[in-house]
Structure 1
Amino acid sequence: MSVRTEIKAVTDRIVERSKPLREPYLDRMRRAADQGPHRNVLSCGNMAHVTAGCGPQDKETLSFTPSANIGIITAYNDMLSAHKPYESYPHMIRETARAAGAAAQVAGGVPAMCDGVTQGQPGMELSLFSRDVIALAAGVGLSHNAYDAAMFLGICDKIVPGLVIAAATFGHIPAVFVPAGPMPSGLPNDEKAATRQKYAKGEIGRDELLKAEMASYHSPGTCTFYGTANTNQMLMEFMGLHLPGASFVNPGTELRDALTQAATRRALQITAAGNEFTPAGEVLDERAFVNGMVGLHATGGSTNLILHLVAMARAAGIAITWEDMSDLSSVTPSLAKVYPNGLADVNQFHAAGGLQFLIRELLDEGLLHEDVRTIAGEGLRHYTREPKVIGGELTWEEAPKASGNDMIVRPASNPFQKTGGLTLLTGNLGTAVIKTSAVKPERRVIEAPAAVFHDQEAVKAAFKAGDLDRDVVVVVRFQGPQANGMPELHSLTPPLGVLQDKGFKVALVTDGRMSGASGKVPAAIHLSPEAADGGPIAKIRDGDIVRVDGETGELIVKAEGFDAREAVTADLSANGFGIGRELFEAFRRNVGPAAGGASVLHPEPVEIPTAAE
């Protein structure tokens, strides 16, 4: 089925807008690919260093045969439960490559921080910037120019976006992304959230809270709620960088290992030395990013990807905007209810039909581009099949055509709602976004007096003192990328949720971020321009009436003479030191605006033609 008119219109304008970037990018990638297998350009001394640490078989393969060499970029560490399984992956990949007459080497490691550890802590101020550091670190690993393809081992919040930026930068070689899967289900997410709210109200102590948290996050694998990490995995399938059905298979299973081995063989098949050369730069085209945005809306994914998709696309010479995302959301039905948008976790979502069911539904409705290149071959229809191990052999079969549970995943003919739940907000405060898919309809429009804060600790203190027991729009400013690295403000969700449950009208307005697991409280986030850049949010005063309208897309302050006010400033010196923050001063000084992806690597804004032009 051909793509719908509305999807084509957004795609066409992205293509047109991106021409000044995309055409030079593709020319660079094709010239790099034309140089052939890159070990050919290395001197004998260079090659001796490439192979010095190898065993005899790999030395022979790399030095004297045209066989392919895979560069492994790994985000393995013991801190992230999602990345713990990667400890054994390089060995498995090397053995699989050798069996195919090729080789694989760990090209480099990249940092991978756990946002679950740094939530509400100073380390969270490094989190967003870690995305660009990851891209830089992966670039260092691949700069040895000795690899015919790259396999990227990464899952969590900033890690996949950083790796995609690197994959696009080295877009002349194939890129295969390899997941590790979610941990088995533990304490239900709604019980965990209820326990957090009890703790916020002082009804239980830290011991009970810790027991609940440890029952939720309990083993190797990705956290099971549909936050940024699992949204990343969805994107890699919708954009054709995973093998079909690979995202949500649990670690330590026969199927998980079979998929990792198959990903290695596929990486070899799509190199220039194979028969299906598929460079990453041509997989990551405008249609792939539109597919990713549609997937984000259809599944109710993390708001963090609103930033990351802009930055990821820019690395591939593609300019996308929040307006593009909002327009796609307006025609994309919401087909999934996974916590925080529902009660199910990703294991239950996967069992109910998961991504393969959704991709087929969206393809059949003309909401996805089918004619795309993927690592699995030509066409997104490959991704309607689910993997199985039968008789010891990995195979793919068509996914069931009916949902296994219509409280979790639904067909396009019977969506949870007709739109994706992402709305662009504009008004005299600037530009922000709101995710309404987890917000009850009666709470999507809030108009109330502002309570203004310069950090989240001050919000928590006001909550404990009872100063917020009223209808209120909590404004938390100086949380943007220039101010302090744009940390997530997820620790505000329990107290604001308590106020909401008391019957008050509550909303959040901030130039910071919210966690991918947040959602029940309406939040106008990523407000741009930010307070530290003199944005209008710096003009709000306590008591000003603020309107956050998730239905019409209105974000305004109703205060006489508001535009003429002087923007306040704040002492941000404390943001510059401690827990590594001093190392990131150059990032804070040079980062671009949130609407441009909050990127240090590409901070300059892309010119958006006006209708008159």
Structure 2
Amino acid sequence: MHPTIHTVTQRITERSRATRQDYLGRMNELSARSPHRSSLSCGNLAHGFAACNQSDKNTLKLMNKANVAMVSAYNDMLSAHQPYATFPDIIREAAHGMGSVAQFAGGTPAMCDGVTQGQPGMELSLFSRDTIAMSTAIALSHNMFDATLLLGICDKIVPGLLIGALSFGYLPTILIPAGPMPSGLPNKEKQRIRQLYAEGKIGKDELLEAESKSYHSPGTCTFYGTANSNQLLVEVMGLHLPGAAFVHPNTPLRDQLTRTATEQVIRISRPHNGELGLGDMVDEKSIVNALVALLVTGGSTNHTLHWVAIARAAGIIIDWNDYAELSTVVPSMTRIYPNGEEDVNAFHDAGGTPFLIRELLEGGYLHNDVETVVGHGLERYTLMPELEGEKLVWQPAREKSLYPDVLSNAAEAFAPDGGLKVLDGNLGRGVIKVSAVAREHHRIEAPAVVFNDQNELKTAFDAGELNMDCIVVVRFQGPRSNGMPELHKLTPYLGVLQDRGFKVGLVTDGRMSGASGKVPAAIHVYPEAFEGGALARVQNGDLICLDADKGVLSIILDEAEFTAREPAKPDLSAYHKGYGRELFGWMRRVVSTPEEGASVFGDQPPG
């Protein structure tokens, strides 16, 4: 084990000792009462299986047979989740084959950030995670179940499902992905057309044609954003079947993986003498493994929020310093768009997650001694699934990467570090991802151009007011201000400015999404402007230093003069009503800081 990985893991373990023990104690108490159907009254149980066929009713009367809860984020709006329409029937059939029952326990909301980017609905996006967590808990609250299958993929959905399921962490749980869509328009071409549109050189028809060729079928979007980062991290935590993350939907292999996941969650359930639940598998070592996987692949910056919240749901306390210290030693081993030109399909074909895990285990970057849904030891995840006829088998990962420019080995990594940095200074504390940022852009010192609304930037860009070296400050975008929307709509404009030869950066208390790319962006900055943070006192023309190498985010101004300024207090009422935003006011009022997971469940683990 690499000494830094060991040190960070030990620090997290010590920091979390009390909260983790409290969590495990609660899970052990709940586990001792299972199977929970035995505690239900006759009226309770009759309600629980009233709609079942007689065979399932007979099975559910027996406490030594498993009942599997399906919690699904299916809807037709998300291409990644539309394939889940057919999964319940596959799961029920597989459960019956094991002499068990599977019930659709509940659905969760699942919004598409791709649809809501730059729209009012995006201001509900972050809070949808905790809403999903609560709806998952409601789905599992009937005490009818011995195991759980979570059907979800995208941005806030997998974290929300995990947070909710961890409240029932005594139940064995497997996440079932649906897989990415086939590759469409090359990502570099998509980016080129977006920038042409931002410059006014092409119209909406051409842009829509390009976008439709990029996002063109059922399945996850193929760039390496938050959704696909979710899948990789969950697999490295041992919560998928090995090699399951990036198999296409609506294929025989995908359907067989779904059947096998159902059979496996039944095998590890208490009626089949299983002893471990989700809360046992999500421990300090598996959380560190997830952070390593995030860093080694240049994954989504959203996970500096989401995995903090997931860890806290299991009684584990992590912070951005843990990410940053791991990032100094974890090599960068992938080049997947936006950190490269190819997509997750090329990554999977090159060797995928099994190859990556084997390389990281051999290099001492991952903990092998963890519990997974297929048994003890992460080496079980160095295998890739395939079909032999109708039989699912696992073969060892490729010896060599098929595309070494997409997936390298640990000894020949693209960079010696993970490219995620923590920034501190008199403007606050935030994070920056530099894995796709050219070295010459890691440090920028330039005058500020300040906006209180992301739409103001386009107006200034169109007017030619940004044709200069500048650090764009987009503030009042934090969780307490307007729900902390992603600001990915800004990317084409900032990219154009950089391509014109200007030094340009972004500083914001909002998010920049898993598609953050070549422009240096200090994001998640807190204290946020709405809370009187330093960003609220920045004025146009102030000189700002954004230094990713030294971890500095500062305004170059006399401290007394800066502190004496009256903070800006724009009218934000327009962002708090309409499109359902009025329903989330209580969340804006109680949400924690980004480094605490931007969670409405408080600054301590729920409980």
What range is the shorter-chain TM-score in? over 0.9
Match of 1:381 among 357, 370, 379: 379
Q: Deviation string for 1:459-514 (max 9, x for gaps)?
A: 11101100000000000000000000000000000000000000000000000000
Residue 344 of structure 1 is matched in structure 2 by 342
What pairs with 1:484-499 in structure 2 (closer than 5 Å)?
484-499=482-497
Contact 1:244 1:386 in 2 (8 A): yes
Residue 176 of structure 1 is matched in structure 2 by 174
Deviation of the 1:604 alpha carbon = 5.0
Distance 1:48 1:19 in 2: 42
Distance 1:54 1:550 in 2: 58
Contact 1:157 1:232 in 2 (8 A): yes
What pairs with 1:152-191 in structure 2 (closer than 5 Å)?
152-191=150-189
Q: What SS does the aligned partner of 1:104 have?
A: strand
Residue 579 of structure 1 is matched in structure 2 by 579
Distance 1:466 1:515 in 2: 26
Contact 1:71 1:149 in 2 (8 A): yes
Contact 1:311 1:602 in 2 (8 A): no
Residue 507 of structure 1 is matched in structure 2 by 505
Q: What SS does the aligned partner of 1:413 have?
A: helix
What pairs with 1:218-297 in structure 2 (closer than 5 Å)?
218-297=216-295
Task: In structure 1, list runs of 5 or more residues that go unmatched.
Answer: 607-613
Amino acid in the other structure paired with 1:208: E
Contact 1:421 1:437 in 2 (8 A): yes
What pairs with 1:100-499 in structure 2 (closer than 5 Å)?
100-499=98-497
Q: Deviation string for 1:574-606 (max 9, x for gaps)?
A: 111111101101111111111111000134599
| TM-score using structure 1 length | 0.98
Match of 1:61 among 53, 59, 62: 59
What pairs with 1:45-56 in structure 2 (closer than 5 Å)?
45-56=43-54
Q: What SS does the aligned partner of 1:152 have?
A: strand
Amino acid in the other structure paired with 2:563: D
Contact 1:592 1:605 in 2 (8 A): no
Distance 1:307 1:64 in 2: 42
Distance 1:442 1:42 in 2: 65
Distance 1:555 1:125 in 2: 26
Distance 1:552 1:564 in 2: 27
Runs (4 or more) in structure 1 with deviation over 3 Å come to 603-606
Deviation of the 1:65 alpha carbon = 5.2
Task: In structure 2, list runs of 5 or more residues that go unmatched.
Answer: none
Amino acid in the other structure paired with 2:176: V
Distance 1:85 1:232 in 2: 17
Contact 2:314 2:605 in 1 (8 A): no
Deviation of the 1:257 alpha carbon = 0.5
Contact 1:72 1:105 in 2 (8 A): yes
Instruction: Confirm or deny that 1:591 pairs with 2:591.
Output: yes
Distance 1:20 1:470 in 2: 52
Q: What SS does the aligned partner of 1:473 have?
A: strand
Amino acid in the other structure paired with 2:381: Y
Amino acid in the other structure paired with 1:586: W
The change in CA–CA distance for 1:384 and 1:567 in structure 2 (over 3 A counts) is same
Q: What SS does the aligned partner of 2:272 have?
A: coil
Deviation of the 1:559 alpha carbon = 1.2
Distance 1:549 1:125 in 2: 29
| TM-score using structure 2 length | 0.98
Distance 1:275 1:351 in 2: 37
Contact 2:179 2:247 in 1 (8 A): yes
RMSD: 1.0
Q: What SS does the aligned partner of 2:61 have?
A: helix
Q: What SS does the aligned partner of 2:299 have?
A: coil
Deviation of the 1:564 alpha carbon = 3.3
Distance 2:42 2:479 in 1: 46
The change in CA–CA distance for 1:482 and 1:237 in structure 2 (over 3 A counts) is same
Amino acid in the other structure paired with 1:386: M
Residue 567 of structure 2 is matched in structure 1 by 567
Distance 1:69 1:570 in 2: 53
Deviation of the 1:175 alpha carbon = 1.0
Q: What SS does the aligned partner of 1:273 have?
A: helix
Distance 2:164 2:138 in 1: 10
Instruction: Confirm or deny that 1:517 pairs with 2:497.
Output: no
Distance 1:296 1:107 in 2: 31
Residue 547 of structure 1 is matched in structure 2 by 545
Deviation of the 1:566 alpha carbon = 2.8
Contact 2:312 2:605 in 1 (8 A): no
Q: Deviation string for 1:114-168 (max 9, x for gaps)?
A: 0000000000000000000000001001000110011000000000000110121
The change in CA–CA distance for 1:604 and 1:399 in structure 2 (over 3 A counts) is closer
- Please identify, of 270-279 and 501-510, the stretch whose mean Cα deviation from structure 2 is larger: 270-279
Distance 1:407 1:564 in 2: 52
Q: What SS does the aligned partner of 1:64 have?
A: coil
Amino acid in the other structure paired with 2:164: A
Deviation of the 1:539 alpha carbon = 1.2
Distance 1:491 1:300 in 2: 20
Distance 2:566 2:490 in 1: 28
Distance 1:182 1:353 in 2: 16
